[in-house]
Amino acid sequence: MSHYILDGREPECTNAVWWRRWYESADRVVARTRINPDIVVSTVFVGLDLGCDPDRPVLFETEVMEVGVASVDARQERYLTWAEAERGHAKIVSEYRGA
């Protein structure tokens, strides 16, 4: 499994030891939006490749969560870049707000 850190908004491949040190204190949040008191949309840099193509690592994830509820059915979307993650986050927020 490949490990990645962020240099600004750009992912860089690294080793597991350096990744863990970085991950412990890194700000990995791309965006976080509370839709209402019960729904939160959160988009983060995961730092591990969630895809199957080593030439196109999937490193960002948006999850829609119900506050206070542990749900395995939460909606998730994944992205390759910070810019894609921002656009995906905005799209999901718009969908949930009914725009």
Query: In angstroms, rounded to a whole number, what is the distance separating the alpha carbons of residues 63 and 9?
Result: 19
pLDDT on residue 70? 61
Domain ranges of the chain: 28-97
pLDDT on residue 87? 98
Q: What is the b/e burial string over 56-67, where b = at least 16 CB atoms within 10 angstroms of the residue's CB?
A: ebbbbbbbbbee
Q: What is the pLDDT of residues 25-84, one digit of tens each?
A: 999 999 999 998 888 999 999 999 988 887 899 999 999 988 777 655 678 899 999 999
For the entire predicted model, the pTM comes to 0.89
